[in-house]
């Protein structure tokens, strides 16, 4: 299970295990131990503080104490997840002139920027009308619109990771008819 910043890990209990070790790697890095669970009946762990858009791989192994030694089992097969991108929670529209609409939305922490898409009338497809390249830029004014038309807008956030863009889902759709 994942969100934009945490992953819930679960595995099957190993009979006789004293506990488990959890290893993680980021993108194409190397595995590092992130947690030792000291209870053999605990078979889940939540890793938080992860970065949006990054890919993380996890693997788990059981261990048992024998005399003065610790014996480790084999690692389970690794599981990889790409973290989601948080989307702006909503958008608001305001007509600022006969041909301009101001689109405003809450800033999203940790993203690279936003894309604004628009369509007019129900039969048309959405078209990207702006790419805002700073996460602090949460206002866009769309110009060149026509009085009397109804326009629908939506916004999504994106994050650039290793030169590739990863996107959030779109916000709610918001309509405005120019007066």
What is the reported pLDDT for 1?
Answer: 55
- Say yes or no to pLDDT of 2 above 70: no
Mean pLDDT confidence for 150-174: 93
What pLDDT score was predicted for residue 167? 94
Interval 58-80 mean pLDDT: 93
What stretches of the chain show up as alpha helix (H) in DSSP? none
SS3 10: strand
Q: Which residue has the higher pLDDT, 144 or 136?
A: 144
Q: Kindly report the pTM of this predicted structure.
A: 0.79
pLDDT tens track for 119-131: 987 678 999 999 9
- Of 151, 132, 150, 138, which is closest to residue 103 (Cα–Cα)? 138
User: Looking up tokens 């024998």, which residue turns up?
Assistant: 66
């Amino acid at each position: 299970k994942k969100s934009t910043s945490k992953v819930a890990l679960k595995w099957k209990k190993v009979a006789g295990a004293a506990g488990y070790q959890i290893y993680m790697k980021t993108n194409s890095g190397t595995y590092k131990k992130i947690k030792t669970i000291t209870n053999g009946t605990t078979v889940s762990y939540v890793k938080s503080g992860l970065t949006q858009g990054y890919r993380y791989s996890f693997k788990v192994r059981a261990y048992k104490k024998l005399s003065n030694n610790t014996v480790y089992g084999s690692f389970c097969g690794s599981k990889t997840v790409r973290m989601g991108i948080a989307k702006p929670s909503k958008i608001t529209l305001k007509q600022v002139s006969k041909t301009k609409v101001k689109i405003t939305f809450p800033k999203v922490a940790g993203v690279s920027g936003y894309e604004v898409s628009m369509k007019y009338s129900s039969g048309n497809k959405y078209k990207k009308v702006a790419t805002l390249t700073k996460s602090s830029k949460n206002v866009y004014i769309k110009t060149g619109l026509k009085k009397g038309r109804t326009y629908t807008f939506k916004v999504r956030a994106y994050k650039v990771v290793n030169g590739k863009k990863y996107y959030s889902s779109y916000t709610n759709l918001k309509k405005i008819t120019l007066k």
